[in-house]
Amino acid sequence: KIFAKRIAEINEKVASSAAVYSIPESLDAAENLGYPVMARAAFSLGGLGSGFANSKEELRKLAQQAFAHSNQLIIDKSLKGWKEVEYEVVRDA
């Protein structure tokens, strides 16, 4: 949410998403965002439990797998076909 707010301040767009904590919340979020969606386990590197869902049935299966790796799941509006650029910054304190 903080990142999305900062990006909005410079008039750039961010894909719609929701952080959820259960399978029913996952299904509700996907319904609000519209299928297809991308689901990914929060706080896990390497894409554990991540994937695309085109329907409730696909999302339910994907969410079950993702919740095995994290107690939070991020549901993003699918931007399949777009290129994602991600930066991870680590520093010594």
List the chain domain ranges.
Answer: 15-77
What's the whole-number mean pLDDT along residues 8-23?
90
pLDDT for res 80? 81
Can you tell me the mean pLDDT for 69-81?
A: 88
Q: 39, 59 in Cβ contact below 8 A?
A: yes
Query: Element (H or E) spanning 23, and its range?
Result: helix 23-33
- Supply the pTM of this predicted model: 0.74
Calculate ∠ Cα 87-64-5, nearest 5°. 35
Q: Provide the CATH number for the domain formed by 15-77 in this structure.
A: 3.30.1490.20
pLDDT digits (tens, 9 = 90+) for 33-58: 999 999 988 876 666 778 899 999 99
